[in-house]
Amino acid sequence: MRSFSLIFKQFSRSVLLIAGFAFLGSSAYAQGDATKGEAIFKANCTTCHKIDIRLIGPALGPTVTSDTDDKWLTKWIENNQALIAAHDKKALDIYNQYAQANMTVFTQLSDGDVANILSYVRTAWKTQQTAAAKPGASGPAAETGPSDLVIYALIGVIILAFIIILVLNKVVITLERLLEKNQGLFIEEVAVEKVAVDRFAFARKLAKNKKFVFFTLLCGTLALGSWTWITMWNTNVHQGYQPVQPIKFPHDLHAGAMKIDCQYCHSGAYKSKNASIPSLNVCMNCHKTIDRTLNSKTASPEIKKIYDALGYDPQTQKYDSTKTRPMQWIRIHNLPDFAYFNHSQHVKVAKLRCQTCHGPIETMKEVYQYSPLTMKWCVQCHKRTNVDFKGNAYYTKMEAVHNLIKEGKPVTAAMMGGIECGKCHY
Ligand code: HEC
Ligand code: HEC
Ligand code: HEC
Ligand code: HEC
Ligand code: HEC
Ligand code: HEC
């Protein structure tokens, strides 16, 4: 997918250039009213089109801005089926390129309406391009615990110590030889075997060196000790866990390239303890008509699995309820039962981004566990993150209780939220 996003980047860059040139001549055609166009666009087109990315239809910003033939665009938007039926070459090309998905016919729109839409699309695309050109967007903060640092430092020190020992030994040997040479005892080493024998002698000498033996043992113990330590801490930690799912569901396409909001599929995260996995009916909002990827000529076997599980026949577009079977996704993130974690508290109240805990999901071809999910991980973040008190009903209540305490008045459990359902039920 990286190559896809690269191509997309290059593509949008060249589009930016084209858009720049087109803008110079834009007064020639941009006569519509963008505000009116926005309303018409949102009412009729957003189910299938976005300005900047492909949904069911192509991204309209780049296409409409680079295609200045407004007469043709108007004909297409008002009745694309008529153009296709008339074997208009351009229309057929587009139709085939998008796996022969059908665009709705909009005979009810007037030429004026379409001019407004086009004007809106061009303005919106230009605004997005200018915004995108500005730097700033930053990725999710990576958390590296100090324990990792300590371990790396330790390994570094050990390696350094080894190097120093080797160098010192070399120096000692050279000095000894110089000494021998000075005393006229030096014998030229010519034979290859002699060198080999000398090497053994060197090893034997080292083995007799008490300091060296002590140091080697020390390093060995340290290395073994830290390995045991790390292994023990990582028992039952499944960071990086990536099971094989029944459908290879690509988050990078859906949440990344298509920018579908996480909430569309994981709405639970905003209002309850569990984020929830969407039912296949949610997928069918789009996949009823999309049975393949952008450039593919054949239907995708992965998408077919959705149809099979629902007993759906894409030919007749009918469901056979006797053939349905549940989709058995394999759970990736899993806390033990004795730990209580609530999504809405973190997503809605603390306003944390999903990516803070789940990593760059929108770039993952298949999801894996990004964070360790250890108690240390929870506690560290709780120590480092400031609570946002503004507009938070829970803390407004706490403030009231605080004032009552200062005034020396009695406080009941109910005042501290003790009769809220969530305190006792989940
Ligand atoms: C049901 C989904 C759907 C709706 C609703 C829809 N479109 Fe499309 N549109 C498509 C598809 C799919 C294509 C690609 C061509 C094809 O396969 O027919 C397309 C193609 C286009 C193109 C041609 C792009 C090119 O490459 O030149 C334009 C322009 C366009 N749509 C504008 C609109 C406008 C404006 C609206 C709202 C008034 C709209 N569409 C509503 C699905 C839709
Ligand atoms: C089109 C629907 C869809 C969208 C949009 C989507 N997801 Fe998912 N997500 C799924 C499905 C289906 C699964 C179960 C299959 C899997 O694990 O790959 C899943 C699984 C996950 C999991 C792993 C669940 C587990 O088993 O532990 C996480 C975490 C996740 N999604 C986070 C996100 C985030 C964050 C976003 C937004 C950036 C997002 N998802 C957008 C459909 C979606
Ligand atoms: C908003 C519309 C939309 C929704 C909702 C949606 N998809 Fe998709 N999906 C697409 C589009 C469009 C593509 C093709 C993208 C491309 O080719 O760039 C696609 C591609 C895929 C692919 C890739 C197929 C392949 O062969 O690589 C899989 C698998 C898939 N979807 C599964 C799912 C599942 C499972 C769900 C429900 C959890 C889902 N989709 C929900 C629009 C959607
Ligand atoms: C503070 C960290 C954190 C944030 C923020 C967070 N999650 Fe989670 N998520 C977790 C943990 C921890 C689990 C495991 C929960 C369990 O096993 O009970 C989990 C589990 C999941 C699961 C699978 C199991 C379930 O609960 O249904 C999905 C899907 C998921 N998260 C999606 C999301 C989405 C989407 C967002 C953003 C709207 C999000 N998460 C924000 C920590 C987080
Ligand atoms: C990325 C930071 C982050 C991580 C990771 C995180 N939390 Fe939190 N958590 C918060 C913040 C911020 C709040 C305060 C929310 C608020 O305003 O009430 C919070 C609140 C809570 C509360 C409510 C405390 C109260 O006083 O009512 C619980 C319980 C909780 N978290 C459990 C967990 C568990 C369990 C984990 C690990 C699996 C975890 N959290 C991981 C940031 C985090
Ligand atoms: C102080 C703790 C507490 C609070 C607050 C609380 N409940 Fe309960 N609730 C309980 C206990 C304990 C039971 C089980 C009582 C029993 O089995 O006789 C229960 C039982 C229930 C049941 C019956 C469940 C069943 O299977 O029989 C429902 C429904 C319920 N509560 C809803 C709520 C709602 C809605 C709220 C918020 C307005 C709420 N509760 C607030 C403690 C609480």
- Cα-based distances in Å from 386 to 85, 156, 352, 383: 62, 35, 11, 8
Nearest ligand 1 atom to alpha carbon 118: 35
Does residue 62's CB lie within 6 angstroms of at least one atom of ligand 1?
A: no
Nearest ligand 5 atom to alpha carbon 377: 5
Nearest ligand 3 atom to alpha carbon 302: 29
Q: Residue with the nearest Cα to atom 11 of ligand 6?
A: 424
Taking the C-alpha atoms of residue 78 and residue 164, their distance in angstroms, rounded to an integer, is: 79
CA of residue 325 to ligand 4 center, whole Å: 26
First to last CA, the chain: 39
Helix (H) or strand (E) holding 81: helix 80-85
pLDDT score of 239: 87
Does residue 254's CB lie within 6 angstroms of at least one atom of ligand 3?
A: yes
Nearest ligand 6 atom to alpha carbon 413: 1
pLDDT score of 307: 94
Q: Residue with the nearest Cα to atom 25 of ligand 5?
A: 345
pTM above 0.75, yes or no: no
Q: Residue with the nearest Cα to atom 36 of ligand 6?
A: 421
pLDDT score of 136: 47
CA of residue 81 to ligand 1 center, whole Å: 11
Does residue 307's CB lie within 6 angstroms of at least one atom of ligand 3?
A: no
Taking the C-alpha atoms of residue 179 and residue 248, their distance in angstroms, rounded to an integer, is: 71
Q: pLDDT tens track of the chain, all 426 residues?
A: 445 454 545 555 554 444 444 444 343 344 688 888 888 888 788 777 888 877 778 888 888 888 778 888 898 898 888 888 888 888 888 887 776 677 878 888 889 999 999 999 898 888 888 877 765 444 333 444 446 677 788 888 888 888 888 888 888 888 888 887 777 655 555 555 555 566 788 888 888 889 899 999 999 999 999 999 988 887 888 888 999 999 999 999 999 988 999 999 999 999 888 999 999 999 999 998 888 887 888 889 999 999 999 999 988 888 988 888 989 999 999 999 899 999 998 998 888 999 999 999 999 999 999 999 999 999 999 999 988 888 777 788 888 999 999 999 999 999 888 888 877 876
Domain positions in the chain are 11-133, 146-233, 251-384, 393-424
- H/E/C letters for each residue in 143-167? CCCHHHHHHHHHHHHHHHHHHHHHH
- Cα-based distances in Å from 121 to 60, 63, 70, 76, 105: 7, 10, 13, 15, 19
Domain range 11-133, its CATH number among 1.10.760.10, 3.30.420.40, 3.40.640.10, 3.40.50.720: 1.10.760.10
pLDDT score of 23: 41
CA of residue 254 to ligand 3 center, whole Å: 6
